[in-house]
Structure 1
Amino acid sequence: MDHLACFTPADLAGRHAPDFSAFRWKLLAQGDSWFSNARSKLNAHANLLQELVFKGPALAVNCAGTGDALSHMVDLEANPDFVRLLSGPGAPVWDGVLLSVGGNDLIAAARTPAHTADGVEVPLHQRLLRRQTEWGAPSAGVARYFSEPGWATYAEYFKANVKHLLSLRNHGPSAGKPVFMHCYAVPMPRPAGAEPSDELGANGPWLLPALKAYGVPSADWAAVSRLMVFHLAQLLKTMAADKEQFPGLFVFDSTTVPLALAAPGSTGISGDWHNEIHLNHSGCFKIARAWSEHIEAVLEGRHLVQPAPTGRRGRGSAPR
């Protein structure tokens, strides 16, 4: 098995540009901090792309850059390299596109406060968490803390952005080629931020302060995190199943990969996690090896049956 050879857009114009003819698969990649090229990030807790392996030589040109921890999906189009290499004049024909998007947007939405800095209440449809006076009945479980109107807003934003990305693909030489996305693993809300040298922008922690600000009991933190990640996984899988609106979209359900959960309250590397929201090398290895099989099966024309949407709302334990 060959590791995915990762290059940057700058490498394509350099003296040692890769020879595309030497690779069986040529992929274009873009995404959030799980794809970031920040050197300190790669050293500390890996890049999901670098753990992908294939039966033959495969190349990826990664446009994710050095990454802000909470860069948003809408910023993808603002990346001129990604747009140029996907749909610009003279763009290569890619065998597929790898996307890591949605996770940072989900966390950013969870961090939306209940009130603005000048005390104006933020409407429920613009945030993912409810104030204590808005909590539902205890019989609803951790869903009582969750804003379904806010989730509907997030879901529409997410779908619109993915449709736009698929449109960019279809207006370039790689029209109709598969677009691969992954779901996310379930983080443990804990006081484990990024080192200042990580070049991630916000140093975190990310989820923990939001849950505290909304008064969510600590006993429910892990379950609320699970509910949000499962909502995103369900959304992604539903989109992939809708071939009319999202043609050529393939989703890998990362929530099914058993990972070692971080210990509650831990402040550093724990289990398969480097900090609160980023995997370490072992975590990236586990997810990437499983995702590799999914990607290669599609590239080889083996038709995988995508997991059917289950309607699961995050109750119960995520597979670990």
Structure 2
Amino acid sequence: MPIPLKQYAPLDVMLGRPAAANFPQHPRRFLAQGDSWFSFGSVNPLATGNMMDGMAFEKDSCVVNCAHPGDVLDHMVDKRREPMFANLLLGAQAWRWDAILLSPGGNDLIDFIRVPQVDDKGQPVPAFLRALLTPAERGGEPDRAAAYVSEQGWDTFVQHIVPQYHEFIAMRDATASQSQGAPIFVHTYDFITPRDAGAGAGVGPWLFPALTSYEVPQALWQPLTRLFLSRLTGLMRSMALPQFHVIDTQGTLAPADLGSHGDDHDWANEIHPNPGGYVKLGAVFAAGIEALMP
């Protein structure tokens, strides 16, 4: 019977606290870094949980989870911003990790889609710095999601984000690392429904105001976000990095209904699954990892 994944806080492991007393005894140890899908996606953490909650393995396994809500890739690989992750991977308290779990790129993409038409100084933002085209820039076929995408902007996004994935590989394989060549497992992001559903305390929604501002027809909100998230998946798959494995979890969740508010189907809010949704995602992610582990 699969054994649920045991989660440890980085400081508990680094300081040898009683809460992590059993950490060295686990036969398989993972190090995790990432965004809210690995941490929590609500002001009330109990409203969402994270993907680790649904993960279980045939072998007794644990994870030291360094993820933070809202984290983007260039922060994750910044040793000054993420000193605990860096220390556990290639610092004085590094271990030999059996694998590294990564929840990468979702916030980068959402932040990019949210870039406004006009900056805070009232100046137009050029198309190569935006994910979306303004109404004046759009050509024909207004009934297709692709007609609303700034291809110049997408190229900029790719040029920005790809080096961050390479930096993860460089950190793993650095001379100071004890985990050179350890497999890195990343998940894909399931399909978001833009809607007026924040995470509480004024946090979010994220895409709903952006698509409204750009005057994207509501009928295209789901196809447009599906297009962007599929492109992110395709980008991760295309990089062919050494021991970098993309576990496809897209299509696992029941999408929230367009126009709904709050918890709906498998989603707690606009961009974060609810506890049941995370359990579904975690089960798929764990199965993919198990199939590829040495």
Query: Contact between 1:22 and 1:57, CA under 8 Å: does it hold in 2?
Result: no
Q: Indicate the residue corresponding to 1:230 in structure 2.
A: 230
2:249 counterpart (251, 254, 270):
254
The code of the aligned residue for 1:290 comes to: V
The code of the aligned residue for 1:212 comes to: T
Query: Contact between 2:43 and 2:199, CA under 8 Å: does it hold in 1?
Result: no
Query: Contact between 2:10 and 2:84, CA under 8 Å: does it hold in 1?
Result: yes
User: Separation in 2 of the partners of 1:156 and 1:42?
Assistant: 34
User: 1:101 aligned to 2:107?
Assistant: no
User: Separation in 2 of the partners of 1:75 and 1:280?
Assistant: 25
Mean CA deviation greater in 77-86 or 40-49: 40-49
User: 1:157 aligned to 2:151?
Assistant: no
Which secondary structure state, in structure 2, belongs to the residue aligned with residue 26 of structure 1?
strand
1:97-152 deviation line (CA, Å, top 9, x unaligned):
00101001100000000111222111111110000011131178110100111111
Query: Contact between 2:143 and 2:220, CA under 8 Å: does it hold in 1?
Result: no
User: 1:175 aligned to 2:176?
Assistant: no
Give ranges in structure 1 of 5+ residues lacking alignment.
197-201, 302-320
| 1:1-320 to 2 correspondences below 5 Å | 1-12=2-13, 13=15, 14-36=17-39, 41-65=44-68, 67=69, 70-76=70-76, 77=78, 78-138=81-141, 141-171=144-174, 172-196=177-201, 203-239=203-239, 242=240, 246-257=241-252, 259-299=253-293, 301=294
- Is the alpha carbon distance of 1:35 and 1:272 closer, same or farther for their aligned partners in structure 2, counting shifts above 3 Å? same
- Is the alpha carbon distance of 1:40 and 1:208 closer, same or farther for their aligned partners in structure 2, counting shifts above 3 Å? closer
Query: Contact between 1:99 and 1:179, CA under 8 Å: does it hold in 2?
Result: yes
**Superposition TM-score, scaled by structure 2 size:** 0.93
The code of the aligned residue for 2:226 comes to: R
Identity over aligned pairs, percent: 36
User: Separation in 1 of the partners of 2:263 and 2:143?
Assistant: 33
Query: Contact between 1:112 and 1:128, CA under 8 Å: does it hold in 2?
Result: yes
Query: Contact between 1:5 and 1:50, CA under 8 Å: does it hold in 2?
Result: no
User: Separation in 1 of the partners of 2:44 and 2:161?
Assistant: 26
The code of the aligned residue for 1:51 comes to: G
- Is the alpha carbon distance of 1:39 and 1:154 closer, same or farther for their aligned partners in structure 2, counting shifts above 3 Å? closer
User: Separation in 1 of the partners of 2:153 and 2:248?
Assistant: 23
